[in-house]
Each structure stands twice: as C-alpha cells, then as structure tokens.
C-alpha cells in the first residue's frame, strides 16, 4: 500500500493535514527562510512525507519541529525530524522522561509495529530545546509564538502565527468528536483557560489536534461551553454523591466511547474533589 500525506493550504504560509491519516493532525508553516513543522503524526512514514511535502510546497528547509504535547499520536513520527531542532515545553519533556510514560509507550510502539509497514521504525525521540511560558521563533518580519498552557496534558502548548491569523491548537481542541480529557496530567481549569486564551487571540483559522480546520474564533465557543457545562455537572455530582455511571455529559460532540467517557469523568471527579 502506498502511503501518502497531503498537506492542505490553510493560508498562503500555513498548511495542515486534518484527515486523521496520521492519527493526530499535523502541519506546518513557512517563515522567510525556513519552515516550522508542527507535530509529527503517529508514524515515521507519514512524518517523513509531511516533511518532504512541506519543503516542496514552500521551497524552504524545515528548521524546527514543534511538539504540542506528549501523546503518541502526535510524537511517534519524530524520528523523521531528529536531525533538526525539536521544541517542546519543559513539562512535555518531563512527562516523556517519566519512567511510567516510557514503559507504557514502549508497549504502545511494539503494538504499532504489528500494524505492518506504517507502524515501522518508530523511535522514542526526545525534544532537544525546551521552553517555559512562551517562546518566539523569529525570521525577519515574521514570527510565531508558542504558549505553554497545560490543560489537555501538563505540557500542552499552542502555536500562534499572527501574520497569517492561524492558531495550531494541538489537542486543546478536538473538533466534531468527543474530546479526550482524561490524561493523568490533564488540568481541567488550565484547559478552559487555554481555550479562552486562544479565543481571545481571535484568529481566522484554528487547526485542532483532531478533526477539521475551524474558521473564526466563535467556533471555539461551543468547546468552552462544553467544558464549563462538564465542570458544573461534575461539581454537582460530587455535591450529590452521584454514581459515576449515572453522570451524563453534555451531548455537544455526540455519544463518546465508553472508555474515553469514563476516563474523563473519573479524572474530573478526582480533580474537583481535591479542589
């Protein structure tokens, strides 16, 4: 089977693949003298093709890979970029260095190898340049800002490209699908704050971590409302001592799969019990 990984033009200087073919969305952008890739899909193969297509599209080399967070469907293709600078928040790197994550992901990588050619050659590559708070990559008159917010995971970050009015949100946004908000390091309050921060930037386009590109900041409103409503439901459930299986969640994104729902609900219950 031939593997392809086409990049869709979002604006003149930004591209993305939101088809789900590499599992987590990935994309990139061009500054004046080089490109920046954003996330590396779950497979080395799709990541390699993404890099080639980025360089072809803009006739510029890729100089940086930015990792939005540590989940496998965004980082397992990193081997395709290990000769260049790989950036993440310090918190993402800390979670990746954690023994529990490493052993869990070793099993994950072994399972992917069984999927055939697409799952081959995955390596657990670590980021090489770490930041806290905010990092700017500048090239002549163009720049991008990377904000570490936490939320979906402790290290979660998003990328803003002001010149193009585009935000790459990573998994701080799941569009048209029930979000995963049950990672052990997920912080619901930081997640809501991150969504509001992206909303306030008022970009023209938001590239979510999963699902199609979103046009305009108002498309974030139903996500913010969803998490506010979920928080209210969880707080009420704690007050009323409701059994986990009796907790219903907002139907904004349809019926979640049972595993994703219970991980999210249990994580949020623990979080707000201890608040």
Residues near Zn ion (CB under 5 A) are: 71, 171
> Is-contact 25 73, C-beta < 8 A?
no
Nearer to Zn ion, 31 or 167 (CB): 167
CB of 71 to Zn ion, least distance (A): 3
In whole angstroms, the minimum distance from the beta carbon of 153 to Zn ion comes to 6
Kindly tell me which of 194 and 237 has the beta carbon lying closer to Zn ion. Answer: 194
Which residue from 179, 123, 127, 190 is spatially nearest to 153, judged by alpha carbons? Answer: 190
Nearer to Zn ion, 14 or 153 (CB): 153
Q: How far apart are the first and last CA of the chain?
A: 51
Q: Which is nearer to Zn ion, 171 or 175 (CB)?
A: 171
Closer CB to Zn ion, residue 35 or residue 154? 154
Min. distance of Cβ 34 from Zn ion in angstroms? 27
Task: Measure CA 48 to chain center.
Answer: 19
Residue 214 and residue 20 in contact, taking contact as beta carbons nearer than 8 Å: no
Residues 6+ apart with CB under 8 A from 61: 34, 35, 55
What is the nearest approach in angstroms of Zn ion to the Cβ of residue 257?
Answer: 15
Q: Shortest distance, CB of residue 69 to Zn ion, whole angstroms?
A: 6
**Residue 61 DSSP class:** -
Q: Is the dihedral of CA 165, 42, 9, 176 positive or negative?
A: negative
Q: Report how far residue 5's alpha carbon sits from residue 127's, in angstroms, rounded to the nearest whole number.
A: 23
> What is the spatial distance between Cα 249 and Cα 236, in angstroms, rounded to a whole number?
12
Residue closer to Zn ion (CB basis): 164 or 171: 171
164/183 with CB nearer Zn ion: 183
Measured from the CB of residue 203, what is the shortest distance to Zn ion in angstroms?
20
b/e per residue 48-85 (b: at least 16 CB within 10 A): bbbbebbbeebebebebbbbbbbbbbbbbbbbbbeebe
Minimum Å gap between C-beta 70 and Zn ion is 8
């Amino acid at each position: 089977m031939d593997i392809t990984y086409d990049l869709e033009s979002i604006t003149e200087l930004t591209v993305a693949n939101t088809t789900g073919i590499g599992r987590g969305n990935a994309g990139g952008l061009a500054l004046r003298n080089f490109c920046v890739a954003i996330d590396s899909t779950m497979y080395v193969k799709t990541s390699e093709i993404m890099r080639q297509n980025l360089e072809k599209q803009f006739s510029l080399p890729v100089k940086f890979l930015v990792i939005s967070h540590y989940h496998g469907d965004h980082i397992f293709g990193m081997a395709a970029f290990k000769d260049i600078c790989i950036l993440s928040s310090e918190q993402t790197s800390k979670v990746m260095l954690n023994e529990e994550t490493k052993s869990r992901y070793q099993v994950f990588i072994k399972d992917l190898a069984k999927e055939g050619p697409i799952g081959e050659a995955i390596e657990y590559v670590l980021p090489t340049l770490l930041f806290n708070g905010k990092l700017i990559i500048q090239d002549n008159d163009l720049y991008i800002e990377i904000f570490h917010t936490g939320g979906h995971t402790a290290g979660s970050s998003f990328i803003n490209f002001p010149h193009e009015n585009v935000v790459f949100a990573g998994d701080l946004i799941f569009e048209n699908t029930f979000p995963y908000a049950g990672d052990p390091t997920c912080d619901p309050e930081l997640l809501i704050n991150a969504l509001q921060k992206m909303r306030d930037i008022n970009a023209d386009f938001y590239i979510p971590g999963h699902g199609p590109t979103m046009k305009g900041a108002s498309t974030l409103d139903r996500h913010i409302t969803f998490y506010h409503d979920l928080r209210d439901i969880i707080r009420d459930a704690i007050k009323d001592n409701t059994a986990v299986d009796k907790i219903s969640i907002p139907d904004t994104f349809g019926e979640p799969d049972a595993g994703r729902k219970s991980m999210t609900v249990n994580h949020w219950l623990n979080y707000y019990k201890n608040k």
